[in-house]
Amino acid sequence: MDRTRRRRTGALTGALTALALTALFTGGGAANADTGTAGAGTRAVPKHAVTGYWQNFDNGAQVQKLGDVPDDYDIIAVSFADATGTPGQLAFNLDSAGLGGYTVDQFKADIKAKHAAGKSVILSVGGEKGAVAVNSAASATAFADSAYELMQEYGFDGVDIDLENGLNSTYMAQALKSLGGKAGSGFVLTMAPQTIDMQSPSTEYFKTALAVKDILTVVNMQYYNSGSMLGCDGKVYSQGTVDFLTGLACIQLENGLAPSQVGIGVPASARAAGGGYVAPDVVNNALECLAKGTGCGTFKPSKTYPDIRGAMTWSTNWDAAAGNSWSGSVGPHVHGLP
């Protein structure tokens, strides 16, 4: 996430990766039905949920207190955790000055109020400029220990993994399993990989998601700042279309993730990303296509996924700057899914 403006704007345009097309079609057996055993995190959020990133900085979007986030959001990802001098270790520093004097006590009180309203508040790790690295057993331990300490201190329900500069599946999975064990029931774990990170189950991000599937709440891939990518049918789809959303979601749905662990991540407005913005009704059509087989574009999945988790947006602040039009449209639609 570029804190001065938006999420990653790296050009993945026209990416037909060297990943073998056959890798797109491996697995799939476990993804065809959600057995309801995806882990403690899935029980802490609604069956169909909306995730929004809340900015702990002022980059020109609407500055918000956590309490200003609309009720349409079920999971609020606080952006972002900070790296320390110890590999893997996390810290969190509220930008009180940048947020108009918002105090730590007010922030903690707002988290409690969100809990009382049935919402989850998690700490996002990464972003475009995130420097957290988990690539050894020691850094995995430091990650889990420090994340748990922050959960206890602030009341976070879990973490979001938004590492856009590399990820080691072995040690990140180790860290997340350790953290999940410490947190216990109600742990919320989300991920926000870029499109290229989820083109095949052989990628490090995808391997991480599969390795922690028993505690994974949802993967909200970033369907933007991407260019063109392969869909699960081997065809190329361009960002900004319903086919891009459905065709790429299908890869995750047919390669090991349960439908309840798949969400659609999009910008809240055209100002929130460098490319790939779609109107809220396109998001709603994509969800209808995946859940019911209606509202599809040229790509229509061979089966429906009524347990599809929902949608995510960057960010609640950019949503507010646009009059909350994204959450006002997508929120009720997600919550109305079967």
Q: Catalytic residues, which ones?
A: 164
Decide: 162 and 183 in contact? Cβ < 8 Å: no
Beta strands in 42-194 (DSSP E): 49-55, 75-79, 82-83, 90-91, 120-127, 158-163, 188-191
Strands 310-314, 158-163: pairing is: unpaired
User: Tokens at residue 139, please?
Assistant: 């850094």
Q: What is Dmax (Cα atoms) for the chain?
A: 53
Full DSSP string of 178-243: HHHHHH-TT-EEEE--BGGGGSSTTSHHHHHHHHTGGG--EEEEE-SS--EEE-TTS-EEETTSHH
User: Tokens at residue 182, please?
Assistant: 């410490």
Nearest to 221 by CA among 238, 237, 209: 209
Query: Which secondary structure element, helix H or strand E, spans residue 311, and what is its range?
Result: strand 310-314
Q: Kindly give, in sequence order, each residue whose CB lies less than 8 Å from that of residue 152, ignoring residues fewer than 6 positions away.
A: none
One-letter amino acid of 336: G
Q: Is the peptide bond before 80 cis (omega within 30 degrees of 0)?
A: yes
What is the number of other CB atoms lying within 10 angstroms of the CB of residue 209? 31
Burial group, residue 248, by CB count within 10 angstroms (0-12, 13-18, 19+): buried
